[in-house]
Amino acid sequence: MNLLNVDYTTKIPNNVNLTSDRQVLKALEGWHPGYLDWWNDMGPEGFQESLVYLRTAVSVDPKGWAKFDYVRMPEYRWGVLLAPQEEGRQVNFGEHKGQPAWQEVPGEYRAMLRRLIVIQGDTEPASVEQQRHLGKTAPSLYDMRNLFQVNVEEGRHLWAMVYLLQKYFGRDGREEADDLLRRRSGDADAPRMLGAFNEATPDWLSFFMFTFFTDRDGKMQLESLAQSGFDPLSRTCRFMLTEEAHHMFVGETGVGRTIQRTCEAMKAAGIEDAGEIDKIRALGVIDLPTIQKKMNLHFSLSLDLFGSEVSTNAANFYNSGMKGRFQETKIDDDHHLTETTYPVLKLVDGQIKLVDEPALTALNMRLRDDYVADCAKGVERWNKIIDRTGVKFRLELPATTFHRQIGEFRDVNTTPKGVLVDDATWAKTRDQYLPSRADGDFIESMMRPEVEPGKVASWIAPPKVGIDNKPGDFEYVKIAA
Ligand SMILES: [Fe+2]
Ligand SMILES: [Fe+2]
Percent of the chain whose predicted confidence (pLDDT) is above 90: 94
Lowest mean pLDDT, pick from 12-21, 215-224, 326-335, 366-375: 12-21
Domain ranges of the chain: 18-478
Indicate yes or no: pTM above 0.85. Answer: yes
Express each pLDDT in 396-445 by its tens digit. 999 999 999 999 999 999 999 999 999 999 999 999 999 999 999 999 99
Query: 234 C-alpha vs ligand 1 centroid, how far in Å?
Result: 15
Q: 57 versus 163: which is more confidently predicted?
A: 163
- State how far the Cα of 117 lies from the Cα of 165, in Å rounded to an integer: 8
* Cβ atoms of 3 and 80 closer than 8 Å: no
- State how far the Cα of 12 lies from the Cα of 77, in Å rounded to an integer: 7
Express each pLDDT in 148-197 by its tens digit. 999 999 999 999 999 999 999 999 999 999 999 999 999 999 999 999 99
Query: 218 C-alpha vs ligand 1 centroid, how far in Å?
Result: 7
Percent of the chain whose predicted confidence (pLDDT) is above 70: 99
Query: 30 C-alpha vs ligand 2 centroid, how far in Å?
Result: 26
pLDDT number for residue 8: 79
pLDDT number for residue 161: 97
Q: Which residues surround ligand 1, an ion (CB under 5 A)?
A: 124, 154, 157
Query: 115 C-alpha vs ligand 1 centroid, how far in Å?
Result: 17
pLDDT band at 244 (very low <50, low <70, confident <90, very high): very high
Sequence-distant (6+) residues with CB within 8 A of 72 are 48, 49, 50, 51, 52
pLDDT number for residue 251: 98
- State how far the Cα of 295 lies from the Cα of 299, in Å rounded to an integer: 6
Residue length of the chain: 481
pLDDT number for residue 1: 44
pLDDT number for residue 4: 67
- State how far the Cα of 188 lies from the Cα of 437, in Å rounded to an integer: 23
Query: 425 C-alpha vs ligand 2 centroid, how far in Å?
Result: 37
Superfamily of domain 18-478 in the CATH hierarchy: Ribonucleotide Reductase, subunit A (1.10.620.20)
- State whether residue 56 is helix, strand or coil: strand
DSSP letter (8 states) at residue 20: G
Sequence-distant (6+) residues with CB within 8 A of 6 are 13, 14, 15, 57, 58, 59, 60, 79, 81
Express each pLDDT in 105-139 by its tens digit. 999 999 999 999 999 999 999 999 999 999 999 99
Query: 449 C-alpha vs ligand 2 centroid, how far in Å?
Result: 24
Query: 90 C-alpha vs ligand 1 centroid, how far in Å?
Result: 26
Identify the nearest ligand to the CA of 215 by its number: 2
Query: 155 C-alpha vs ligand 1 centroid, how far in Å?
Result: 8
* Cβ atoms of 263 and 386 closer than 8 Å: yes
Query: 124 C-alpha vs ligand 2 centroid, how far in Å?
Result: 7
pLDDT number for residue 265: 98
- State whether residue 424 is helix, strand or coil: helix
Amino acid in the structure at residue 157 = H
* Cβ atoms of 325 and 342 closer than 8 Å: no
pLDDT of residue 450 exceeding 70: yes
- State how far the Cα of 82 lies from the Cα of 326, in Å rounded to an integer: 20
Mark residue 270 as left, alpha or beta (left: phi above 0; alpha: psi -120 to 50; beta: remaining). left
* Cβ atoms of 255 and 291 closer than 8 Å: yes
pLDDT of residue 3 exceeding 60: no
pLDDT number for residue 152: 97
Query: 242 C-alpha vs ligand 1 centroid, how far in Å?
Result: 10
pLDDT of residue 104 exceeding 80: yes
- State how far the Cα of 121 lies from the Cα of 35, in Å rounded to an integer: 13
Query: 220 C-alpha vs ligand 2 centroid, how far in Å?
Result: 11
Query: 3 C-alpha vs ligand 2 centroid, how far in Å?
Result: 24
Q: 66 versus 45: which is more confidently predicted?
A: 45
- State how far the Cα of 67 lies from the Cα of 77, in Å rounded to an integer: 12
